[in-house]
Amino acid sequence: MARYGGYTSANELKGAASEARNAERVADANRSINELRSDILRLRIMLQAMMAVMIEQGVDPNLINAKIEEIVSKPETFEPTGKESAPCPRCGRMILDNGTTPLTGTCLYCGEVIRFAPKIEVEEKQNTEENS
């Protein structure tokens, strides 16, 4: 019986090599995911800082929310990647992003259409500053 570096058959050797390649691919994917998470966190921090500066400089958050709605209403201007979900304001069942119209979902039960556009939370920040 021939031995291949401790393996008793060529099939065992091929299987071990395949497992090693798969483990390397998983490790590469994990590194890529960690890099993306780091990039997202960095961008979120930068966005928070820019929003805080804009509001401190007197930009009305409602103006920003209106601009967000304008951008979301033109799906050709961006390519959304995440799926959102939220309870239906009419019947309370969960609505998922339908994927065909960006950041929009339709309730399967009552037909209510909602937007998942990001909004700037204004009241909490103002209430917190007033209580300080």
pTM (2 d.p.)? 0.47
Q: What is the largest distance, in Å, between two alpha-carbon atoms of the chain?
A: 83
pLDDT in tens, 20-56: 888 899 988 888 888 888 888 888 888 889 888 998 9
Which pair of structure tokens corresponds to residue 106? 């339709």
Residue 128 has pLDDT above 70, yes or no: no
Question: For the chain, where are the alpha helices, taking DSSP H only?
Answer: 10-56, 61-72, 123-131
pLDDT in tens, 59-117: 998 898 888 888 777 766 665 555 678 899 999 999 988 766 667 889 999 999 888 76
The pLDDT of residue 1: 44
Contacts of 61 (CB under 8 A, 6+ apart): 55, 120, 122
Residue 2 has pLDDT above 60, yes or no: no
